[in-house]
Amino acid sequence: MPDVAIQTYKLTRTFGNLTAVDDVDLQVAAGQFFGFLGPNGAGKSTTIKMLTGLLAPTSGSMQLLGLDFVPNSVEVKRQIGVVPEGMGLFERLTGAEYLNFVGRMYGLDRATTRHRSEELLEFMQLADRPKTMIADYSHGMQKKLALAAAVIHGPRILFLDEPFEGVDALAAGTLKALLGRMTERGTTIFLTSHVLEIVERLCSHVAIIHQGRLVAQGSLEELRAGISGEEGSKTTLEQIFLSIVGQSGAERPQLEELSWLT
Amino acid sequence: MADVAPSAGLIAQIRLVAGLRWRLLRNSMRKKNNRLDLIGLIFAGIFGGILVIGLCFAFYAGAYQFLSNNRPGWIALLFWGIFLFWQSIPLFVAGFGANFEFRTLLRFPMSLSAFYIIGLAYGLADFSAMASLCWLLSMTAGATVAKPGVLPAMLLIGAAFVLFNVTLERLVGSWLERLLSRRRTRELFLGLFVLSMISLNFITPLLNRYGAAARPSFLRLLPYFAWLPPSLAGRAIASAAQLQPAGFLLGSAGLLLYVLALTLLLRRRFSAQYRGEELSETAAPVRPAVRPIAAKDDGPDRLGLLSPQVAAVLRKEFRYLTRNGFTFLTLLLPPMLVFIFSMNFTGGHPTWGKGVSADFFFPGMMAYLILILMAPAYNSFAYEGRGIQTYFTAPLRFRDVFLGKNIMLVIVLALEMALSLSMLAWRVGLPSLHMLVATVAAMVFTIIGQLTVANWSSLSFPRKLEFGQMRGQRQSGMAVLVAFGSQILLGGVSAVILFSGRWTGNLWLPAEAFALLAAAAVGGYIASLDPLTELAEKKKEALIEALCR
């Protein structure tokens, strides 16, 4: 098994005149729980889409598990799992039907697919509604199902785009339990999230992207060490994030302009 | 503490809602991809304007003629015309999709009375309501010119008639909104709507066959219509014109009673909405049920000949087909159409004299059915939604997706053709053997030939469609054009070859020619799968963007 799970070289993606991802060199070691952070519109989803084959890079290259993605896309896809933005569910199937469909698409045999589907539905507490279509699931149920589908084939890298967005504490607990179990078994997890507390609690390593460029990368300790002053070791991820991408005083909205609110 | 602003007045709120409706319409036209909508709206506006203005003259003339020629009772017909238009058009225009949700206004500080009045005012802003108001005014003008003394009665009855119609329309709309908020009900209604549209084709044959027998029953029912609101309005005006106060009072009191009853019902509906009626479809939490024992189905795969990916897509397509009420119902169309056409044609065609020949009817019907059933293949990812991403994140070649989808379509087509052929054999009779073989080979040629083009079109001009909705459900213009072009081309070639047998005297020539063409089409289809896989990779961003909207 290669030491490096994900490696990008000058990965770039433009949309017309806009450079959404600009010369990103990213390195994620195998088995890491990696948080990919950035403000809205920074390029997180574009990067994750390129890493999962949903979007072609304009330039640069990427290797996953030691394989160049573009010429080996089928082999790479066999070893990764994805919860894409919007979850990518077929809403007219039931949860079990969807998991069976995905399992077969990843080449699992029928018996294995059925067995794993049942286990996953049970674990995700979705087995009580065997005839309910995904369109009728709540948002949290859909997130749990999307994660179940992403792991059914036992991926070595798992990409999660905002897995905790709009999810209540109970569903989030289930998702975290599954992710914890996967990291224990050596799966590399690449996660984007706006909830910095969750990233701080779950992730061992973090990268921050801002305006398409990678502005920080390393373990939480390394990022804390980069903060000057005695308080560096006690700095939270939110403080690190704001110190790196936060707006300057001149750009920050002036609260005194809303004096009528108080 | 922050200062709290006083609530806006009722008039101001009505003005704001009117402005909101206008801005929603204007902004929807500003989208780049809505140019065709704008052109459509301009044309609809021109034709709508011509219709309304033209009928204004007709209503004016009708009211004038009926009152001046001493036939005032006939004015009820004009009220019936307005009533039917006002109540039926919103049902068609509403379609079965999401509209602007009037109830969302409830988050603003608004009393129940204000909510009720704004609801009625909102109903008056519809095209059907505005057109009906124009026609009522024209009627009033026509009646007044014929008999000036009838003006107060026309104004009173006209106002009551407007109130009756707008209240009824809002009441029906409100109930429909409640019913259609559930996906399954929405799809059921859509299916019934499609079936009722199809069944209109039966009217002429049924009238021809049973019209005379049904006439006495219909005439017996007519007196009961006199107690319905348009007739009551007509009676009130007729009595006023003939200076019969008792008849006027009876007609207007009856109409006002309807208004009162509907007002109470509508007020009840709006009160439920005002209190916060729950229309959400999201699954409510349930107590864990006893787990059903999963069927052990680990035996041999019935689709074992196919690769797991192709089999998975095929199964998924089958499930989508059975859960898409609209598409599923269109599968009823082919045998129904054979039945309808055979009802019209058998027993003596005006041109052919002795009834239609199966040798003409069979290839003609099959061509027509292919035309209908192949159309969705030109935008075959329409219902995938966000699921399309799975095809690109899974380790498969896109040819597997096409194969799964195309096999499903071919199976459906084969079943439909078999059903239609059975219906044809029953109604018209089987065609001659050479024509049967030629037509079947022609179908293979046109279906497989079209599949190649349709796959390309699906990748190049994708357009998302929603299950169970009619509003805004439109294929890409280019996909329609491609479908139209390829169907004309393949249909034209097939027609020429079919008739070549008659021209050359060799009746088996078309069958032989189509067998060759069918083999070529199958070869071309197989050869196209790899280039289409490469095209899918190139087009994936556009495809995902179009379907994940």
**Residue finishing a domain among A154, A180, A208:** A154
Q: Which residues of A touch B395 (CB under 8 A)?
A: 74-78, 105-107
- Contacts of residue A15, defined as CB under 8 A and 6 or more positions apart, other chains included, come to none
Decide if A55 touches B, using CB distance below 8 A. Answer: yes
Q: How far apart are CA B372 and CA B332, in angstroms?
A: 12
Position A118 scores a pLDDT of 93
Buried b (16+ CB within 10 A) or exposed e, B463-495: bbbbbbbbeebebbeebbebbeebbeebbebbe
The residue of chain A with its CA nearest to that of B549 is A86
Alpha carbon of B392: minimum distance to chain A alpha carbons (Å):
6
- Contacts of residue B5, defined as CB under 8 A and 6 or more positions apart, other chains included, come to none
pLDDT value at B405 more than 90: yes
pLDDT value at B109 more than 60: yes
Handedness of CA A132, A134, A135, A139 (dihedral sign): positive
Choose from A113-117, B13-17, B478-482 the range with maximum mean pLDDT: A113-117
Q: Which residues of A touch B289 (CB under 8 A)?
A: 128
Of B292, B320, B393, the CB nearest to A54: B393
CB B147 within 8 Å of CB B42: no
Question: Are A125 and A196 contained in the same domain?
Answer: no
pLDDT value at B220 more than 60: yes
CA-derived radius of gyration, chain B: 30
Question: Are A203 and A248 contained in the same domain?
Answer: yes
Of B2, B313, B467, the CB nearest to A261: B2
Phi, psi values for residue B205, rounded to 5° = -60, -40
pLDDT value at B196 more than 50: yes
The residue of chain A with its CA nearest to that of B306 is A104
pLDDT value at B144 more than 90: yes
**Tokens 């044809």 sit on residue:** B424
For the segment A62-100, what is each residue's pLDDT rounded down to a tens digit? 999 999 988 888 899 999 999 988 888 988 889 999 999
Q: Which residues of B touch A123 (CB under 8 A)?
A: none
3-state SS, residue B357: coil
CB B350 within 8 Å of CB B431: no
On whether residue A102 sits in a domain, the answer given is yes
CB B507 within 8 Å of CB B372: no
CB A60 within 8 Å of CB A12: yes
On whether residue A74 sits in a domain, the answer given is yes
Alpha carbon of A146: minimum distance to chain B alpha carbons (Å):
11
Give me the amino acid identity at B72.
P
CB B169 within 8 Å of CB B126: yes
Of B286, B386, B396, the CB nearest to A87: B386
Question: Are A124 and A231 contained in the same domain?
Answer: no
Average pLDDT over residues B101-129: 80
Which residues of chain A fall short of a pLDDT of 70?
1-2, 227-233, 247-256, 262
**Residue finishing a domain among A120, A154, A188:** A154
Phi, psi values for residue B71, rounded to 5° = -125, 55
Question: Are A34 and A134 contained in the same domain?
Answer: no
Q: Where are the beta strands (DSSP E) in B242-295?
A: none
Q: What domain range is A146 assigned to?
A: 90-154
Alpha-carbon dihedral A43, A44, A47, A53, rounded to 10 degrees = -120
Question: Are A42 and A102 contained in the same domain?
Answer: no
On whether residue A35 sits in a domain, the answer given is yes
Q: Do A104 and B386 touch (CB under 8 A)?
A: no
Q: How far apart are CA B25 and CA B16, in angstroms?
A: 14
On whether residue A186 sits in a domain, the answer given is yes
Question: Are A94 and A146 contained in the same domain?
Answer: yes
On whether residue A40 sits in a domain, the answer given is yes
Decide if A194 touches B, using CB distance below 8 A. Answer: no
Residue B324 DSSP label:
-
Q: How far apart are CA B445 and CA B470, in angstroms?
A: 33
DSSP H helices in A185-233: 196-202, 220-225
A204-218, B83-97, B147-161 — which is least confidently predicted? Answer: B83-97
Alpha carbon of B1: minimum distance to chain A alpha carbons (Å):
6
Q: How far apart are CA A173 and CA A179, in angstroms?
A: 10
Q: What is the distance, to the nearest Å, from the Cα of residue B397 to the centroid of all Cα atoms in its chain? A: 36
Of A53, A114, A137, the CB nearest to B392: A53
Question: Are A142 and A170 contained in the same domain?
Answer: no
Decide if A88 touches B, using CB distance below 8 A. Answer: yes
User: Phi-psi region for residue B278, left (φ > 0), alpha (ψ -120 to 50) or beta?
Assistant: beta
Position B210 scores a pLDDT of 76
The residue of chain B with its CA nearest to that of A84 is B389
Alpha carbon of B111: minimum distance to chain A alpha carbons (Å):
26
On whether residue A84 sits in a domain, the answer given is no
Comparing B347 with B199, the larger pLDDT belongs to B199
**Residue finishing a domain among A122, A137, A154:** A154
Q: How far apart are CA B308 and CA A109, in angstroms?
A: 8
Give me the amino acid identity at B35.
R
pLDDT band, residue B96 (cuts 50/70/90): very low
Decide if A181 touches B, using CB distance below 8 A. Answer: no
3-state SS, residue A37: strand
Position B35 scores a pLDDT of 62
CATH number of domain containing A72:
3.40.50.300
Of A105, A114, A127, the CB nearest to B312: A105
Q: Do A84 and B315 touch (CB under 8 A)?
A: no
CB contacts < 8 A, A to B, total 119
Alpha carbon of B52: minimum distance to chain A alpha carbons (Å):
42
A180-184, B144-148, B167-171 — which is least confidently predicted? Answer: A180-184
Position B338 scores a pLDDT of 77
Decide if A67 touches B, using CB distance below 8 A. Answer: no
**Tokens 């049920």 sit on residue:** B289
Q: How far apart are CA A143 and CA A171, in angstroms?
A: 8
The strand pairing partners of A11, in sequence order, are: A24
- Looking only at the bridges linking them, the beta strands covering A205-210 and A33-37 are parallel
Of A75, A84, A106, the CB nearest to B389: A84
Question: Are A185 and A228 contained in the same domain?
Answer: yes
Q: Do B291 and A133 touch (CB under 8 A)?
A: no
Q: Do A84 and B393 touch (CB under 8 A)?
A: yes
Position B98 scores a pLDDT of 42
Domains of chain A: total: 2
Of A75, A101, A137, the CB nearest to B312: A101
Q: If we measure between CA atoms, which residue out of B485, B482, B464, B481 comes closest to residue B473? A: B464
CA-based angle B287:B289:B291, to the nearest 5?
A: 150
Question: Are A12 and A141 contained in the same domain?
Answer: no
Question: Are A146 and A246 contained in the same domain?
Answer: no
pLDDT value at B279 more than 70: no
Model confidence, pTM: 0.72
pLDDT value at B289 more than 80: no
Choose from A163-167, B169-173, B497-501, B504-508 the range with maximum mean pLDDT: B169-173
Q: How far apart are CA A244 and CA B62, in angstroms?
A: 78
Residue A133 DSSP label:
B
Q: Do A78 and B548 touch (CB under 8 A)?
A: no
Question: Are A123 and A95 contained in the same domain?
Answer: yes
Q: How far is CA B103 from CA B63, B72, B140, B273, B275, in A?
A: 39, 43, 35, 7, 11
Tokens found for residue A50? 């390129």
Position B347 scores a pLDDT of 47
Position A230 scores a pLDDT of 55
Q: How far apart are CA B262 and CA B268, in angstroms?
A: 10
Alpha-carbon dihedral B185, B188, B189, B191, rounded to 10 degrees = 160
On whether residue A85 sits in a domain, the answer given is no
Position A187 scores a pLDDT of 93
Q: Do B286 and A128 touch (CB under 8 A)?
A: yes
pLDDT band, residue B491 (cuts 50/70/90): confident
Q: Considering chain B, what is the average pLDDT of its residues? A: 82
Q: Do B301 and A110 touch (CB under 8 A)?
A: yes
Position B97 scores a pLDDT of 42
The strand pairing partners of A67, in sequence order, are: A64
Position B61 scores a pLDDT of 95
Q: Do B289 and A128 touch (CB under 8 A)?
A: yes
- Contacts of residue B513, defined as CB under 8 A and 6 or more positions apart, other chains included, come to B497, B500
pLDDT value at B300 more than 70: no
CB A159 within 8 Å of CB A44: no
Which of A:112-141 have CB within 8 Å of B?
A: 114, 118, 127-130, 132-133, 135-138, 141
Alpha carbon of A222: minimum distance to chain B alpha carbons (Å):
33
Average pLDDT over residues B15-21: 76
Question: Are A96 and A177 contained in the same domain?
Answer: no
Position B463 scores a pLDDT of 84
The strand pairing partners of A219, in sequence order, are: A205
The residue of chain B with its CA nearest to that of A86 is B386
On whether residue A70 sits in a domain, the answer given is yes
Q: Which residues of A touch B387 (CB under 8 A)?
A: 88-91
pLDDT value at B476 more than 90: no
Q: What is the distance, to the nearest Å, from the Cα of residue A146 to the centroid of all Cα atoms in its chain? A: 12
pLDDT band, residue B280 (cuts 50/70/90): low
